[in-house]
Structure 1
Amino acid sequence: MATAAPERTQWTRSPKAHEALKRHFDEHPEAKPSHPEKYDTSRSDIYVENRWEPIFKEMRAEGPVHYIKESPFGPYWSIVGHKAIQHVEALPELFSSSWEHGGITILNRLDDDELEEGQERFELPMFIAMDRPKHTGQRRTVAPAFTPKEMKRMEDEIRQRTGETLDSLPRGKVFNWVDEVSIPLTTGMLAILFDFPWEDRDLLTFWSDWSGDTELILAGQELEETRRSIQTEMATYFQQLWAKKSQEEPSADLISMMIHSPAMNQMSPQEFMGNLVLLIVGGNDTTRNTMSGIVHALDKFPDQRKLFEENPDVIPNAVQECIRYQTPLKHMRRTASEDTELFGHQIKKGDKVVLWYNSANRDEEVFGDNAEKLQLDRENARRHLAFGYGIHRCVGARLAELQLRILMEEMHARRMRVHVAGDVERVRANFVEGFRVLEVELSEF
């Protein structure tokens, strides 16, 4: 049973992040970011229009490492090969994730010479954006929530909620799969992990959307201040939960784990907020978008939908393949801590290094010439890098896999076939890969 909700303040009056960003650029078209370089894959238009694959394919053919001299996010090294990304991830001391050096997104913070007049630096430390040893202690704090034992304990509840959601879907009517399936299932799971007030669980989706859109920074100070305000409200809400739980016995939810952890119970307000952003975006956006990506891909590749319908034994491997194909987070950023050589290129201390997981998961050298297609029985689907690699590999990977497996199993048990039957609107972002709208209609096989 989720805990009682703190008193509401003003957060529900704010617009959705993507709506605010679109309105800003509609009103100020001159402010739209310019991308003069051919291989600058930080541009969001190639993702919302789903034309990114040929660009990365051409880059991989030329080599795994490219230098992008000019972009709205400054110069950066673009790492597009599977082997090269694993190499960088395997050297966390050489390629830092720390927020103190720039963090984990292509622009996690503004450099001093990019700050607008009157704009203050705003940092959000989080354990994925930390180096060892601090990263180790904080990651170990939340890891017990995602052990095999915990997955087994939660499986029946996840299956029940998934079945109830699927049974509630309309027949003979077009509806938005994102709103009716992907968001409710992942938001509900997140609420359970936090022991979050059930009646306020939609706030988790709202906060996730505002926190996960890295391009808001390009819209200037006004929208960035709106985001900070919303994140501050989020932290205020969770601080009330923290205060309540600090008076209670330890429990298995994430807030209680942090309270009773020496590594996390003395966090600064900014660090507390940063770890909330990490857990909310990591636990919400990624699984949500793969749940949408599964039904979109099965519709796009009818031969694979037939395989799924005729052979449910393929589901465990199909989950890995769908995660590979969707790749819900496109990139992570690292910063070189010293001069080094990377596959024949000279990287200087302080250089920004961007790892494009979406490209690695299409690497022909690993996944073959059909890497751009869905193949549910792909023998090496588990080699995908959608969860990252090395010490920063997604701590909640098991839970994501469990939720997706159960969704596919429950769809199959109901002989549910999902047809794309209307609008498809993708997320306009260079960080999160997903769908805002996926209009579908159901039938049976």
Structure 2
Amino acid sequence: MSSVNIAESVYPLDDPYAIPLDKINVSDPELFRSNRMWPYFERLRREDPVHYCAESAYGPFWSVTKYKDIMHVETNHGIYSSDVEQGGITIRDNNAGLKLPMFIAMDPPKHDAQRKVVSPIVAPANLAKLEGTIRERAGKILDSLPVNETFNWVDRVSIELTTQMLATLFDFPWEDRRKLTRWSDVATSEEAFKTPEGEAAREAELLECATYFTELWNQRVNATEPGGDLITMLAQGESTKNMSPMEYLGNVILLIVGGNDTTRNSLTGGLLALSENPDQYRKLRENPALVETMIPEIIRWQTPLTHMRRTALQDTELAGRKIKKGDRVVMWYVSGNRDEEAIDEPNRFIIDRPRPRQHLSFGFGIHRCVGNRLAEMQLRIVWEEILKRWPDKPIEVVGEPKRVFSNFIKGYEALPVRIPG
């Protein structure tokens, strides 16, 4: 991958209406770190829902910002490709340098065959087996938290729970489980691309990940007992057992990021949303059964992955705009989830919405998140356990969240909280 310069914006970030429409660039990671992207997307949905940005750090791209248009792109994979050879699934091209094929960055039929290999890990029967493990671990994590003392919720709860779950799914050495968190962060790091040195360091860490997982593959490829972990599934699956080393790494990274970011950032984003909407937190404490509808609302509200990218395989038209073959087409889930035409009162956090699963956070169609039910289950269990322990007093957010510098992961580095005694 060639290094790009993420330059400071020429225009003030605070006022999207002070910028000429054709100069708006919603790919600036600083918009997301500072949580100032919302009015930009609001303007694009109203004035130019399929918007062309001619100049950005990643090259020209189209922004698709309305729910119905995103759904159109999602469900027409014959026109809009995810394939890594076309550029992949992020606004930044992934077809040069350390190229990482992965099944989410493939088109049918290869995509379908590889996805089928790992999907049994989240089959209903396996989820039922995992539920007790998740509940036990969530309880231990929550019971270890200090009372009347400020601590970082991201590190103590969000990261720890999701990392333990990932280690279980991979049957990964328990004492090394925080490596999974590190590799997830490195794989999605925007900071690394600021300099050639940073990019080289990122690639070196990902190759360390490849070495570690290759050793695990070699231990399990000839196992006589059928393994229920993801590595054994990949090593023995008909469609994956002959993968190239980079394809294996790509799928490992996909499963690490997919298993980490949705749950981790929704655990943090959900607590932040309840803190910012105390009426909803009160409603939840008075009726804990609302956890069922609150979880998909948290996932919509948080939108852990801001976008997915496709590449046009042919000249086409979308919402009256002419898109050329080879153009980048970026579906901004974070905008579609706030589209007034598709979702009632989308800018309100409402834990008892009538249709809480009407959101785009998991994608749609053939690329819909394979682990969506597992993510929802983890979040539900954590909140059930929180409400058992602190039914009367809300967990208090006592400082500003520190958000990650990324236009792909909508996440958090830190959230200072306090549990009242």
184 and 68 in structure 1: CA distance in 2 versus 1, 3 angstrom threshold: same
State the match for 1:39 in structure 2: 24
Residue 91 of structure 1 is matched in structure 2 by 76
- SS in structure 1 at match of 2:416: strand
| Cα distance, 1:235 vs structure 2 | 0.7
Confirm whether residue 361 of structure 1 aligns to residue 337 of structure 2. yes
**Over 3 Å off, 4+ runs:** 34-38
Looking at structure 1, the residues matched to 182 and 159 of structure 2 have their Cα atoms a distance apart, in angstroms, of 11
Q: Deviations over 1:276-332 (max 9, x none)?
A: 110011111221010001111100000100111111111111000000000000000
Indicate which of 192, 206, 226 corresponds to 2:201: 226
SS in structure 2 of the partner of residue 383 of structure 1: coil
TM-score, scaled to structure 1: 0.89
Q: Which residue in the other structure is 2:92 paired with?
A: 107
Distance 1:82 1:31, change over 3 A: closer
Partner residue, 1:162: 138
Aligned partners of 2:412 and 2:137: how far apart in 1?
A: 22
Counterpart Cα distance in 2 of 1:356 and 1:263: 31
Partner of 1:366, secondary structure, is coil
State the partner residue of 1:436. Answer: 413
* Aligned: 1:247 with 2:222: yes
Q: 1:77 aligns with which of 36, 43, 62?
A: 62
CA contact (8 A) 2:297 2:351 kept: yes
1:380 paired residue among 355, 362, 368 = 355
**Contact between 2:191 and 2:198, CA under 8 Å: does it hold in 1?**
no
Q: What pairs with 1:187-336 in structure 2 (closer than 5 Å)?
A: 187-214=163-190, 216-217=192-193, 219-248=194-223, 249-336=225-312
Supply the AA of the counterpart residue of 2:254: L
**CA offsets, 1:342-395, max 9 Å, x none?**
110101000000000000001111222x31121001112201000001000000
Unaligned runs of 5+ in 2: 11-21
Give the distance between the partners of 1:77 and 1:422, measured in 2 at CA. Answer: 36
Output the CA distance in 2 between the equivalents of 1:410 and 1:133: 42
Q: Does 2:353 match 1:404? A: no
Residue in structure 2 matching 1:135, options 81, 86, 111: 111
CA 1:134 to 1:31, structure 2 compared with 1: closer, same or farther past 3 Å? closer
Aligned residue type for 1:384? H
Task: Note if contact 2:58-2:93 (Cα within 8 Å) is conserved in structure 1.
Answer: no
Cα separation, 2, equivalents of 1:74 and 1:226? 23
Native 8 Å contact 1:108 1:214 kept in 2: no
Structure 1 counterpart of 2:366, from 374, 386, 391: 391
In the aligned structure 2, how far is the partner of 1:93 from the partner of 1:160? 44
Q: What amino acid does structure 2 have at the position aligned with 1:409?
A: E
Identity percentage of aligned residues:
48
Question: Partners of 2:47 and 2:410 in 1: how far apart?
Answer: 25
> Is 1:105–1:214's contact at 8 Å kept on the other side of the alignment?
no
Do the aligned partners of 1:34 and 1:72 also contact (CA within 8 Å) in 2?
A: no
Shift of 1:220: 3.0
Which deviations, in whole Å up to 9, do the C-alpha atoms of 1:126-181 show, x marking residues without a partner? 00000000000000000000111111110001000001101110001000000100
TM (norm. structure 2) is 0.94
Is contact 2:191-2:405 (8 Å) kept? no
**Which structure 1 residue ranges, 5 or more long, are not aligned?**
1-23, 25-29, 111-119
